[in-house]
Structure 1
Amino acid sequence: MDLTPADSLISALTSRTPPDRAGIRSSSTFLSPDPGTPTAPGVASVSQLNTKLAEYLSPSDLKKVKEAYRFSDEMHLGQMRVSGEPYISHPIAVAEICADWKLDAQAIMAALLHDVMEDQDVKKEELIERFGSPVAALVDGLSKLEKIEFQSQIEAQAENFRKMLLAMARDVRVILIKLADRLHNMRTLGSMTAEKKRRIARETMEVYVPIAHRLGLNNIYRELQDLSFSHLHPIRYRTLAKAVKAARGNRREVVSKIMESVKNTLVAAGIEAQVYGREKTLYGIYRKMRNKRLSFSQVLDVYGFRIVVENFAHCYVSLGTLHALYKPMPGKFKDYIAIPKLNGYQSLHTTLIGPYGTPVEFQIRTQEMHRVAESGVAAHWLYKDNEGSLTDLQQRTHAWLQSLLDIQKQTGDSAEFLEHVKVDLFPDSVYVFTPKSKIIALPRGATALDFAYTIHTDIGDQTVATRINHEHAPLRTELRNGDIVEIITSASSRPSPTWLTFVRTGKARSAIRHHLRTINLSESVELGSLLLAQALAALNLDSDIPPATLERLLNESSAKSLDELHADIGIGKRMAALVARHIMGLNDTAGQPLQARVTSTDDDVPVKLDPVIIYGSEGVAVQLAPCCQPIPGDRIDGQLKRDQGLVVHSQECDVARRGRSKEPERWIEVQWGQELNRRFDCRIVVLVTNERGVLARVAAEIGESDANITFVGMDDDHDSLMTQLRFTIQVEDRVHLARLMRNVKRIPGVTRILRERGQWANPPG
């Protein structure tokens, strides 16, 4: 975990011998420094840590921390950092950062001990005996993040990310200590090679910065960003730093004038407030220049102002006072007090036109809001067993961390876990309401189905429809701030693979994939078994595969069992015909006779298989294509689609025609079964004259024809003489549909009716 350097090597410490487990006296002092003794450069001094801890820890807790320090000092005795600085300075620095957050004694002890398991092979049992189980668990959680060897950099990041988040979900103090560790490492990165600096900075920017932001640790978030930027793009960093330094002088007059005006205006309004000038971080300026393609001179809001007032009401009074002083910019006001950010951040944001036409950003908040804004979850880190006693911030953080455990249970590989979780780390959120006015925060672009899974996995799995702002809407509808979302469920409903194409949150994707892999595994196995049996029969082979052949088949195909092989065939990962020919080849090499070998087994000669019978109730393993929505009576073909199973298309479908020409080997013959005990969706378009009551007459006739309407839409052009009504209806077969269409055609006002084969631009969810 050594990333750092500081200044110089101390000969007195380099001569110290490595620790002896029997117990060695440490040459460093803790909690009793002699103020009259000068400290040589590089010696690990703990006076600052002592001062910070004495402010809030009890004497008994200080004693425990002292014991942890002594043990850590003994274990790291003689160990140096890359710069030659004694290693114990690193744990002290990490503990000091944690002390700034006023973490408890257990967390401070873990910060001091966080490297002893990794570097000195100290066993967890020894830590439990000396310092208790909670401290040992924290140290163990931190050590597990560093101990794994990886095959690739991508895998390393994903696995490291996953373990860190899981450790964090069990105890958020693990991630706070880990972030403090990374911050000190980044502050002292100077002695590393340029390549190692870039690698560590990139990992920090991609993994640790978003976590710090998500937890509301804004001070660390900003510092880690700037430190990473300085090592990833050192020339750009130095150039921008020089430009900002020069701009400070040029803009000092503007800043002073605004500061004075704001203070006087607030005093006149009777508001006691602290006003701070605030400079944007270098990385924040760089990102704005890059994203908006601006030069530095065009970035006008390098400076902002923060106003900290006594209470909630004064925030809004201050806002009105500022808007009277300077003209606000339209669309640049955000109320994060009424609706806090996902990480608990609260403030009023407004941008005003200051002197000389310069845009100036103001943030207005209370002291408590300011504390949370700077320290985030660390400001409310106290752990309570009773969830009802948690603050809103704690509850939101706890719910997010718990969702990570849910994703972990449903996700097999690290890369997929990283894909799920990265989406949820970035705080560009949309805020919607439940019917009972509870606020739910979702990532930007989240859909109504994401909302359902956010409420509960079972709710998402059983979703059939949604109402947004009291009106029916497709499940794929993207939510907007302030939407009121109601989910309609059915116990018989199950997730569809098509849902994966539009859900946005990691939790929803993970839950849908988990359902498709596990709950519907039996359906995929059954379909795969049927397809393989047909392929074997076409080659005149017995479907009972000899044990020796089966063992070789599983070994060569990397399948763990025959069921797994059948499931892969059922979801389209393997082709039944190719597996059957593989079995034929294995039989040949094993010297086993084939049952009535077919006359030709050349790969260029297609094998004729019996059609697969479709009943429409097979479940997720067999789907009716949404593009053409085949119904009984249509001529149909089947496409084995990877990860979706068998997709049934009408032979007249344009999508099917293109698919057959591109991948003919993935298409098989299918036909409808004789007894079908369900109804099938299809779409019709009705052209009507634009007159009163025509929609009601058409809908009534559809109902009289014993069909169910599941969706209705119409043209937006209400001034036209003719209107197109679009329906999704449920019918038994083509005969039923033809009878319905004849009945509708006879209605006065209906000029034309046809069945819609193509997919609508905005299909129902």
Structure 2
Amino acid sequence: QKTAGNSLEFIDNLKIDLFPQEIFVFTPQGNIIKLPRNASVVDFAYAVHTDIGNSCVSARIDKRLVPLQTQLDNGVTVEVITASWARPNPLWLNYVITTKARTGIRSYLKHFKQQEAINLGRRLLEKELQDMNKQITDITEQMQNQLLQAVNIESMDELLEEIGLGNKMPFLIAKQLNQDDISAAIKLEENETRKETPLIIKGTEGMVVTIAKCCRPIPGDPIVGYFNPGKGIVVHHHECRNSTDERKKSTDWLDVEWSQDTTGEFPTEIRIEILNQPGTLATIASTISKMDSNIENVILSDQDERVAVDFITLTVKNRVHLANIMRQLKKLFIILKITRTRG
């Protein structure tokens, strides 16, 4: 036994001496995967197969459940857990170190963003055409060719992608399609008014529709969209100082509203004045957790011997969910004042 133990240790040490920058890990089937030292679970998943990497959600190392960012040790057995709904997260690029993993993640995200942009661009163009009493199905192949030649773009998908990314304004494209001569320059009347049919935001559009961090709107809030060239639409609260009435008049702004069946969790920030005593933050965190919410960040703004002021970023489903959380927090004797913050 002693000899066997020493032999295994000798082999393990020999591998480290011979391959100081590499580790060898096992699949559940006993196959050996060679990886650079400090490789993560995600690196391992992509080394097994790109599809495994694209759909991984967690892993078991020697039958112990671990998160994806866990670094692997030499000689461990790794079982990757996947899910059909999972997809690569841009944050993975912060801790993967292999070229295959980085290439796989970037390739998927680029294709995914491209498809999302095309879908959003189609929705935006359809909305503008409907406001002009036209349908996207009314656009003939000849009209498409004239339009593509006029805007110097090779395909409709590429044009829709440009619209979805905010590089082309859907109102102007629809206006051009509505002209007798599509190849001619767009004519805008000085007193021309637009119908304001809002774009419905579901919260699941992905990377081409983002929620502004300055005001953190949540479902139930009045909202307005801003075209950010190259990135898509940024959704602001209607009362955000970055969405003034003057700016909303420009073509960079778009009327949007939340879908009735919006899903997901949305970050928002609350400001609380609390009694400065031990255990207060733990009590607040416990109350928020019981209301099916998670705390993302806590900032201590100011405090004295009696009162502390904290800014807490938490996730909520909508305004009703946030109101219920704030109502429960107000019942705590340690809470002196609580308000929602907005940009």
TM-score, structure 2 normalization = 0.68
Aligned to 1:518: 111
Equivalent residue letter for 1:652: E
Q: Offset at 1:719? A: 6.8
Aligned to 1:703: 289
Instruction: Report if the CA contact (8 A) 2:88-2:108 is conserved.
Output: yes
Instruction: Report if the CA contact (8 A) 2:295-2:314 is conserved.
Output: yes
Greater helix content: 1
Aligned to 1:746: 331
Give 2:225's match in structure 1, choosing from 627, 631, 638. 638
Give 1:731's match in structure 2, choosing from 316, 319, 323. 316
| 1:263-289 Cα distance to aligned partner (Å, 9 max, x none) | xxxxxxxxxxxxxxxxxxxxxxxxxxx
**Mapping 1:26-37, distance limit 5 Å:** none
Task: Provide the C-alpha distance between the structure 2 equivalents of 1:626 and 1:496, rounded to a whole number of angstroms.
Answer: 19
Q: Offset at 1:695? A: 1.9
Equivalent residue letter for 2:267: D
Structure 1 residues 634, 589: CA separation in 2 closer, same or farther (over 3 Å shift)?
closer
Instruction: Report if the CA contact (8 A) 1:524-1:645 is conserved.
Output: yes
Aligned to 1:567: 161
Instruction: Report if the CA contact (8 A) 1:452-1:463 is conserved.
Output: no
Q: Offset at 1:667? A: 0.9
Equivalent residue letter for 1:751: L
Aligned to 1:713: 298
**Mapping 1:300-311, distance limit 5 Å:** none
Give 2:128's match in structure 1, choosing from 522, 535, 551. 535
Structure 1 residues 500, 646: CA separation in 2 closer, same or farther (over 3 Å shift)?
farther
Structure 1 residues 463, 603: CA separation in 2 closer, same or farther (over 3 Å shift)?
farther
| 1:515-540 Cα distance to aligned partner (Å, 9 max, x none) | 34312433222211111112122233
Task: Provide the C-alpha distance between the structure 2 equivalents of 1:513 and 1:666, rounded to a whole number of angstroms.
Answer: 29
Structure 1 residues 746, 460: CA separation in 2 closer, same or farther (over 3 Å shift)?
farther
Task: Provide the C-alpha distance between the structure 2 equivalents of 1:716 and 1:644, rounded to a whole number of angstroms.
Answer: 32
**Mapping 1:685-700, distance limit 5 Å:** 685-700=271-286
Give 1:583's match in structure 2, choosing from 177, 183, 205. 177
Task: Provide the C-alpha distance between the structure 2 equivalents of 1:664 and 1:503, rounded to a whole number of angstroms.
Answer: 41
**Mapping 1:253-332, distance limit 5 Å:** none
Instruction: Report if the CA contact (8 A) 1:528-1:567 is conserved.
Output: yes
Aligned to 2:194: 607
How many percent of aligned residue pairs carry the same amino acid?
31
Task: Provide the C-alpha distance between the structure 2 equivalents of 1:727 and 1:606, rounded to a whole number of angstroms.
Answer: 42
Task: Provide the C-alpha distance between the structure 2 equivalents of 1:661 and 1:728, rounded to a whole number of angstroms.
Answer: 28
Task: Provide the C-alpha distance between the structure 1 equivalents of 2:255 and 2:220, rounded to a whole number of angstroms.
Answer: 15
| 1:288-318 Cα distance to aligned partner (Å, 9 max, x none) | xxxxxxxxxxxxxxxxxxxxxxxxxxxxxxx
| 1:228-278 Cα distance to aligned partner (Å, 9 max, x none) | xxxxxxxxxxxxxxxxxxxxxxxxxxxxxxxxxxxxxxxxxxxxxxxxxxx
Task: Provide the C-alpha distance between the structure 2 equivalents of 1:395 and 1:500, rounded to a whole number of angstroms.
Answer: 21
Q: In the alignment, does 2:307 pair up with 1:722?
A: yes
Task: Provide the C-alpha distance between the structure 1 equivalents of 2:227 and 2:264, rounded to a whole number of angstroms.
Answer: 23
Structure 1 residues 536, 500: CA separation in 2 closer, same or farther (over 3 Å shift)?
farther
Aligned to 1:336: none
Task: Name the structure, 1 or 2, with higher relative contact order (CA <8 Å, separation 6+).
Answer: 2
TM-score, structure 1 normalization = 0.33
Aligned to 1:171: none
Give 1:672's match in structure 2, choosing from 258, 266, 274. 258
| 1:393-422 Cα distance to aligned partner (Å, 9 max, x none) | 7869xxxxxxxxxxxxxxxxxxxxxxxxxx
| 1:95-140 Cα distance to aligned partner (Å, 9 max, x none) | xxxxxxxxxxxxxxxxxxxxxxxxxxxxxxxxxxxxxxxxxxxxxx
Q: Offset at 1:461? A: 6.8
Equivalent residue letter for 1:550: Q
Task: Provide the C-alpha distance between the structure 2 equivalents of 1:562 and 1:615, rounded to a whole number of angstroms.
Answer: 25
Q: Offset at 1:634? A: 0.8
Equivalent residue letter for 2:320: V
Task: Provide the C-alpha distance between the structure 2 equivalents of 1:556 and 1:504, rounded to a whole number of angstroms.
Answer: 44
Aligned to 2:30: none
Secondary structure of the corresponding residue to residue 133 of structure 2: coil
Aligned to 1:551: 145
Give 1:624's match in structure 2, choosing from 193, 198, 211. 211
Task: Provide the C-alpha distance between the structure 1 equivalents of 2:127 and 2:220, rounded to a whole number of angstroms.
Answer: 24
**Structure 2: which 5+ residue stretches go unaligned?**
1-14, 24-35, 59-68, 70-80
Equivalent residue letter for 1:530: R
Secondary structure of the corresponding residue to residue 655 of structure 1: coil
Aligned to 1:425: none
Instruction: Report if the CA contact (8 A) 1:609-1:669 is conserved.
Output: yes
**Mapping 1:440-519, distance limit 5 Å:** 440=38, 491=83, 492=85, 494=87, 514-519=107-112
Secondary structure of the corresponding residue to residue 715 of structure 1: strand
Task: Provide the C-alpha distance between the structure 1 equivalents of 2:313 and 2:53, rounded to a whole number of angstroms.
Answer: 23
Aligned residues between the structures:
287
Greater strand content: 2
Secondary structure of the corresponding residue to residue 588 of structure 1: coil
Task: Provide the C-alpha distance between the structure 2 equivalents of 1:456 and 1:534, rounded to a whole number of angstroms.
Answer: 42
Equivalent residue letter for 2:319: R
Q: Offset at 1:684? A: 1.6
| 1:306-364 Cα distance to aligned partner (Å, 9 max, x none) | xxxxxxxxxxxxxxxxxxxxxxxxxxxxxxxxxxxxxxxxxxxxxxxxxxxxxxxxxxx
Structure 1 residues 493, 655: CA separation in 2 closer, same or farther (over 3 Å shift)?
farther
Q: Offset at 1:636? A: 0.1
Structure 1 residues 690, 755: CA separation in 2 closer, same or farther (over 3 Å shift)?
same
Task: Provide the C-alpha distance between the structure 2 equivalents of 1:641 and 1:523, rounded to a whole number of angstroms.
Answer: 15
**Mapping 1:375-454, distance limit 5 Å:** 392=19, 439-440=37-38
Q: Offset at 1:651? A: 1.2
Task: Provide the C-alpha distance between the structure 1 equivalents of 2:188 and 2:302, rounded to a whole number of angstroms.
Answer: 60
Secondary structure of the corresponding residue to residue 121 of structure 2: helix
Q: Offset at 1:626? A: 2.5
